[in-house]
């Protein structure tokens, strides 16, 4: 029997608000341990939470971007469990009434673009961080992260391959970055993802028994863990076995999962309404106000780029994969750059530089006007394409304007026939075999000779002029 | 000069005239403490009699106030009379403590209480039981038993307690002092170590109504650190209570005068009613039909919240940390278990187990959810009575003070001593207990005046006018 995997994802995103979710402490990553704490986030006796409505606003932005229905009335609940990183031994979360639900996110699936159903979006507080000592049997707790706002985004079981899960995560992250609500860094833990997966006979509508996968620290790891788990479940089913409902941990080193707890060992969280926080109420007009503030989202931008600038779908996708790159592109176009050429430059040489330097476009020493000037020099034949790449390199090193670099380095393209003719004579003298080849009808030899002229001129020769002169010179 | 028996109002007068200074008040209280504390044991630990710094202005300038051991004051031990919090020194002030200090008061010390406010007799304190100043073989009531006893025994001028199901009013009644549980949200809970967050309120216990109104004016008000506090202005209760009560309509709920009510308490209430009628107040019989469910609802809601609120006492950050000598379990789990086993007393464990049970998956709907619905009905009972009546008058406690040990073996009978006070917490409405007579054996009896939400002014008005015509608040126990 062939089986189809059914996947649901739970993503936790740390919201980058100025202060924590329920107290006035700074919401900062990487500070000295326990330096951003107070009686509230330490869970000291008698302290009470006060809701940071800015966290809700960020959450509502995300929910609206995911086409969710946002409630005007919601509440917080307590999720009770013991762990030393959880100062009160309960987490303030939302249980039966999430602030948003029933949304969707469009992804590129095998059969084309389709909507993935979002089940719910809710707010909760994060826990602190345990630091296990290496020099003895004890652990330390850093509560800086305790009480920082987390957004949980849960899909319906509506993803049907590890690749779709990967694509969903990539698109979700992009939306979150466009909304500027989170750093979305899985390595730093500002974005975390758990996955539920089950198998069912192809074309069946009933869901099989699911397992929950945790501890993946990259999108790639999510994909690999799902691949592994789908194979494992398929093997169990093939041998006539049954899938046990359990929580599994992904082991990156072993590239395998192992069981953390079974269904029987699952916590009873004893949820109940948080009595210290009254339900919160938003008006429809407040929600609409937030909707108006939403920026253009990646998919709208892609469609606009193809429609208005005549870019290919693929180029639009590449440019919009970073909101900063897309903004840079638009800045160039607003300076009346030619869109397609600008796109080619950004996707080609500029992206190459970003990758090799591990910097994004805003970190490069490159302004839209400088790039435009460079493109102009190359397109009008003032410098060769080859030289242009060197000029770009030099621009990023020194921050100089391209025209200045061309001047200083004497990179201007040579189209002067009298200068080129001298170079050509030297090249012909050194490569008589190629001359003979060309004259005996081997057209390829001409390309070789043009290349040699370029080389001898230090890349400055205008290749078109050089080619023309060579043809004339070698006429029988 | 014996100043320990004076009211805040009298002391303010003397301080203003320059007849004595704060140091003299403290000296008097110290003398009194040294002579009677052995018999009463009102305090969780020795109070401060040396003059602590106080702000030289405000309506409580130079007046020492005692607070219950579950209210945080910076730099002071705050242990809720529980071993699990032993050694916990609060690094911050509760909002009520800030208000007291701004008004010029001195925090003199912490009063004994039932552990985490779980009890009606002050016998579950991990230190020792407090005794009733009127008869030291009897309990002072609870959980704010220490707060009530220290005022009754003249070891304190006035005190703060907390009331979740009657914990201010019942000990006030049993000790013959005035105790107010304000409207839920009237006083900030920030810094009150929570028992049941949706029911807890801090309130004053005083020698008379005027002091009580004054103290509530100081501690009440909106606090941005407590999201459940009400953003409403605080009336000058002391001024408003002086208005006439002629024509006030008082409801007497049938459900409160049933089997189990001590005949002497019943007759005290009847006399109080006659007295009030002579002052131009009219009475009518009313129904609070969901009263029979109040105790059950209370012990579901309160224990559920408590089981979660008390989860933080785990030995990780503060208070007791106990580690078993050897255990088969992982060290963390063993530490949790040992700390909570050694740290909590039997009643605390009983309530946490009960609360954990009612919230458990599969039981939530049957217990917690139903209790929440019933709670709403109890509130609606009050709402409908207050459409026609200004206030409700009831006994505070079904009996006068009972003997130490009399109910400790029977938790249910202990729970029933709050039968008349619990509903006000469930409904969130304000209620005050004030002395209304004595039994033949010389034990004080209290009556409860319940008002609509934020109706404290009317409660004080009735209580003050009644007090003016009666001698009860002037009576002193023989110690």
Mean pLDDT of A426-439: 86
Query: What is the per-residue burial (b if ≥16 Cβ within 10 Å, else e) of B33-45?
Result: beebbeebbbbbe
Q: pLDDT above 70 covers what percent of chain B?
A: 100
With respect to residue B163, please indicate whether it lies within any of the assigned structural domains: yes
Measured CA to CA, the distance from residue B456 to residue B65 in angstroms comes to 22
- Tens digit of each residue's pLDDT (9 = 90 or more) over B130-142: 999 999 999 999 9
Catalytic residues of B: 68, 143, 167
What's the gap in Å between the CA of A326 and the closest CA on chain B?
A: 43
Lowest model confidence (mean pLDDT) among A256-265, B176-185, B376-385: A256-265
- Tens digit of each residue's pLDDT (9 = 90 or more) over B38-83: 999 999 999 999 877 777 789 999 999 999 999 999 999 999 999 9
Please judge whether B360 and A47 are an interchain contact, meaning their C-beta atoms are less than 8 angstroms apart: no
> Which comes out higher in pLDDT, residue B123 or A2?
B123
Residue B280: the pLDDT is 97
Report the residue from A43, A84, A276 with minimal CB separation from B228. Answer: A276
With respect to residue B75, please indicate whether it lies within any of the assigned structural domains: yes
With respect to residue B269, please indicate whether it lies within any of the assigned structural domains: no
With respect to residue B76, please indicate whether it lies within any of the assigned structural domains: yes
Q: What is the mean pLDDT of chain B?
A: 96
State the pLDDT confidence band at A422, using cuts at 50, 70 and 90: confident
CATH number (domain holding residue B21)? 3.90.1300.10
**Run of H or E including A107:** strand A100-109
What's the gap in Å between the CA of B93 and the closest CA on chain A?
A: 10
Q: Which residues of A touch B71 (CB under 8 A)?
A: 46
Residues on B contacting A at a C-beta cutoff of 8 Å: 70-72, 78, 80, 85, 88, 90-92, 94, 189-194, 196-198, 224-228, 304-305, 307-308, 311-314, 316-318, 331-332, 336, 356, 359-361, 364, 368
DSSP per-residue codes, B359-404: HSTTTTIIIIIHHHHHHHHHHHHHHHHHHH-SEEEEESSSSSPPBT
Domain residues for the domain of B141 are: 8-245+455-474
Please judge whether A272 and B88 are an interchain contact, meaning their C-beta atoms are less than 8 angstroms apart: no
With respect to residue B433, please indicate whether it lies within any of the assigned structural domains: no
Residue A414, pLDDT above cutoff 70: no
Q: Which residues of A touch B312 (CB under 8 A)?
A: 43, 45, 87-89
Q: What is the mean pLDDT of chain A?
A: 91
State the pLDDT confidence band at A399, using cuts at 50, 70 and 90: confident
Please judge whether B361 and A270 are an interchain contact, meaning their C-beta atoms are less than 8 angstroms apart: yes
Is there a contact between B314 and A82 (Cβ–Cβ < 8 Å)? yes
State the pLDDT confidence band at A415, using cuts at 50, 70 and 90: low
Residues 6+ apart with CB under 8 A from A152: A10, A11, A12, A13, A120, A121, A122, A123, A124
What's the gap in Å between the CA of A86 and the closest CA on chain B?
A: 9
Q: Mutate one of A77, A147, A264, A272 to test the B interface: name it (highest B CB count within 10 A).
A: A272
Domains and CATH numbers, chain A: 3-289 (no CATH), 298-408 (no CATH), 417-473 (1.10.10.410)
Residue A411: the pLDDT is 67
With respect to residue B43, please indicate whether it lies within any of the assigned structural domains: yes
Residue A430, pLDDT above cutoff 90: no
Measured CA to CA, the distance from residue B297 to residue B295 in angstroms comes to 6
Q: Distances from the Cα of A266 to the Cαs of A153, A244, A260, A295, in angstroms?
A: 21, 13, 10, 41
- Tens digit of each residue's pLDDT (9 = 90 or more) over A232-267: 999 999 999 999 999 999 999 999 999 988 877 778
- Does A45 touch chain B if contact means CB atoms closer than 8 Å? yes
Lowest model confidence (mean pLDDT) among A330-339, A417-426, B399-408: A417-426
With respect to residue B381, please indicate whether it lies within any of the assigned structural domains: no
Domain count, chain B: 1
Mean pLDDT of B295-301: 97
Please judge whether A46 and B193 are an interchain contact, meaning their C-beta atoms are less than 8 angstroms apart: yes
With respect to residue B347, please indicate whether it lies within any of the assigned structural domains: no
Determine phi and psi for A466, rounding to 5 degrees. -60, -40
Is there a contact between B90 and B75 (Cβ–Cβ < 8 Å)? yes
Question: Is 0.90 exceeded by the ipTM?
Answer: yes
Measured CA to CA, the distance from residue A449 to residue B399 in angstroms comes to 116
């Amino acid at each position: 029997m062939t089986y189809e995997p059914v996947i649901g994802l739970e993503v936790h995103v740390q919201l980058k608000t100025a202060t924590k979710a329920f107290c006035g402490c700074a919401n900062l990553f990487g500070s000295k341990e326990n330096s951003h704490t107070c009686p509230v986030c330490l869970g000291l006796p008698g302290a009470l939470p006060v809701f940071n409505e800015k966290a809700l606003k960020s959450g509502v932005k995300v929910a609206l971007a995911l086409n969710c229905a946002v409630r005007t009335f919601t509440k917080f609940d307590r999720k009770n469990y013991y762990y030393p990183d959880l100062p009160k031994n309960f987490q303030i979360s939302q249980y039966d009434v999430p602030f948003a639900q029933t949304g969707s996110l469009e992804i590129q699936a095998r059969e084309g673009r389709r909507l993935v159903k979002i089940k719910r979006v809710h707010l909760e507080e994060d826990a602190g961080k345990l630091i296990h000592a290496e020099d003895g049997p004890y652990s330390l707790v850093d509560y800086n992260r305790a009480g920082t706002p987390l957004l949980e985004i849960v899909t319906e079981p509506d993803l049907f391959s590890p690749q779709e899960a990967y694509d969903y995560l990539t698109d979700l992250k992009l939306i979150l970055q466009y909304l500027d609500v989170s750093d979305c860094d899985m390595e730093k833990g500002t974005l975390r993802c758990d996955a539920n997966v089950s198998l069912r006979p192809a074309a069946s509508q009933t869901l099989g028994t699911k397992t929950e996968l945790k501890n993946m620290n990259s999108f790639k790891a999510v994909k690999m863990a799902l691949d592994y788990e789908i194979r494992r479940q398929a093997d169990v089913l093939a041998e006539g076995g049954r899938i046990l409902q359990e929580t599994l941990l992904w082991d990156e080193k072993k590239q395998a999962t192992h069981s953390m707890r079974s269904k029987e060992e699952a916590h009873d969280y004893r949820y109940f309404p948080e009595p210290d926080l009254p339900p919160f109420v938003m008006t429809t007009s407040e929600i609409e106000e937030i909707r108006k503030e939403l920026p253009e989202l990646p998919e709208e931008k892609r469609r606009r780029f193809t429609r208005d600038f005549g870019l290919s779908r693929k180029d639009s996708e590449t440019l919009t994969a970073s909101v900063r790159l897309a903004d840079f592109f638009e800045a160039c176009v607003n300076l009346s750059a030619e869109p397609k050429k600008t796109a080619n430059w950004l996707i080609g040489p500029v992206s190459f530089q970003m990758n090799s330097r591990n910097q994004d476009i805003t970190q490069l020493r490159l302004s839209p006007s400088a790039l435009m000037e460079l493109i102009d020099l190359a397109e009008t034949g003032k410098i060769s394409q080859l030289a242009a790449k060197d000029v770009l390199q030099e621009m990023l090193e020194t921050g100089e304007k391209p025209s200045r670099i061309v001047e200083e380095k004497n990179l201007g393209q040579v189209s002067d026939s009298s200068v080129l003719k001298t170079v050509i004579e030297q090249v012909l003298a050194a490569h008589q075999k190629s001359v003979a080849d060309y004259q005996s009808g081997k057209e390829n030899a001409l390309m070789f000779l043009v290349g040699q002229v370029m080389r001898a001129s230090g890349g400055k020769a205008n290749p078109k002029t050089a080619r023309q002169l060579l043809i004339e010179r070698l006429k029988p | 000069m014996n100043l320990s028996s004076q009211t805040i109002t009298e002391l303010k007068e003397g301080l203003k005239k320059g007849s004595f200074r704060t140091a003299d008040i403290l000296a008097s209280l110290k003398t009194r403490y040294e002579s009677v504390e052995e018999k009463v044991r009102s305090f969780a630990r020795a109070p401060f009699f040396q003059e602590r710094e106080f702000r030289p202005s405000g309506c409580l300038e130079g007046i020492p106030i005692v607070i219950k051991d579950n209210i945080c004051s910076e730099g002071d031990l705050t242990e809720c009379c529980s071993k699990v919090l032993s050694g916990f020194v609060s690094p911050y002030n509760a909002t009520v403590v800030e208000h007291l200090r701004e008004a010029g008061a001195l925090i003199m010390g912490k009063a004994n209480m039932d552990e985490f406010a779980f009890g009606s007799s002050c016998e579950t304190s991990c230190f020792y039981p407090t005794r009733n100043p009127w008869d030291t073989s009897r309990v002072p009531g609870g959980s704010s038993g220490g707060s009530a006893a220290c005022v009754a025994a003249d070891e304190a001028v006035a005190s703060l307690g907390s009331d979740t199901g009657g914990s201010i009013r019942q000990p006030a009644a049993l000790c013959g002092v005035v105790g107010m549980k304000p409207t839920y949200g009237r006083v900030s809970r920030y810094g009150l170590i929570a028992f049941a967050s949706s029911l807890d309120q801090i309130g004053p216990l005083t020698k008379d109504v005027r002091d009580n109104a004054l103290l509530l004016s100081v501690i009440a008000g909106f606090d941005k650190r407590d999201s459940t506090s009400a953003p409403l202005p605080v009336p000058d209760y002391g001024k408003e209570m002086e208005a006439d009560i002629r024509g006030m309509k008082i409801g007497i709920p049938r459900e409160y005068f049933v089997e189990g009510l001590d005949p002497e308490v019943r007759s005290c209430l009847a006399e109080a009613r006659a007295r009030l009628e002579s002052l131009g107040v009219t009475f009518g019989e009313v129904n609070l039909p969901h009263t029979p469910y109040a105790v059950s609802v209370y012990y579901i809601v309160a224990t559920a919240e408590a089981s979660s609120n008390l989860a933080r006492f785990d030995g990780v950050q503060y208070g007791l940390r106990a580690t078993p000598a050897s255990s088969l379990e992982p060290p963390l789990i063993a530490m949790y278990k040992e700390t909570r086993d050694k740290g909590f007393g039997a009643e605390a464990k009983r309530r946490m187990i009960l609360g954990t049970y009612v919230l458990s998956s599969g039981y939530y709907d049957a217990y917690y959810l139903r209790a929440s619905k019933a709670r709403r009905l109890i509130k609606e009972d009050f709402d409908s009575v207050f459409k026609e009546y200004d206030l409700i008058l009831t006994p505070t406690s079904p009996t006068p003070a009972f003997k130490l040990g009399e109910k400790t073996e029977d938790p249910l009978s202990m729970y029933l001593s709050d039968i008349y006070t619990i509903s006000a917490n469930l409904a969130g409405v304000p209620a005050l207990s004030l002395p209304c007579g004595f039994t033949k054996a010389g034990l004080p009896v209290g009556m409860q005046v319940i008002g609509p939400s934020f109706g404290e002014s009317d409660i004080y008005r009735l209580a003050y006018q009644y007090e003016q015509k009666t001698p009860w608040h002037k009576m002193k126990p023989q110690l």
